[in-house]
Copies of this chain bind each other. A is one copy, B any other.
Amino acid sequence: MDIADWRKKIDEIDRKLVHLISDRARAAHEIGKLKRGLAMPIYEPDREQTVFDQVRKVNPGPLPDRDLLRIYERIMDIMRQIQQEEIAPESLAAEATPPDPGGTELDSDVND
């Protein structure tokens, strides 16, 4: 195979990658909605650790875990941001009505 052949292969992989990342984003969005309903925090270090552990466990090579995890850190950043955006509009709306005597129970204390 020459460079052009390998690049065709990479383009095909990239199409699949983009679709999988998008599927993952949709799932993260759904979880964000559920978390909002349950007043759960967006950042859950234990869950993120589970994801990173699985990545290490299923890594078939040739990338060292370190490199794969660097890619995954970026993926997780973006996914956390999606959930933030899913939850933030309401908490921002709650903040926009300051003297609300009824409380701001949706004002979830979100750290990223």
Q: Which of B3, B6, B30, B58 contacts A15 (CB 8 A)?
A: B58
CB of B60 within 8 A of CB of A2, answer no
The quantity of this chain's copies bound in the complex is: 2
Residues in chain B near residue A3, CB distance under 8 A: 31, 34-35, 38, 40
Residues in chain B near residue A1, CB distance under 8 A: 30
Shortest A35–chain B CB gap in Å is 7
Give how many A residues have a beta carbon under 8 Å from the other chain's beta carbons.
Answer: 52
A78 at the interface (CB under 8 A from B): yes
Q: Which of B19, B38, B78, B81 contacts A60 (CB 8 A)?
A: B19
* Smallest Cβ-Cβ distance to A8: which chain B residue: B27
A94 at the interface (CB under 8 A from B): no
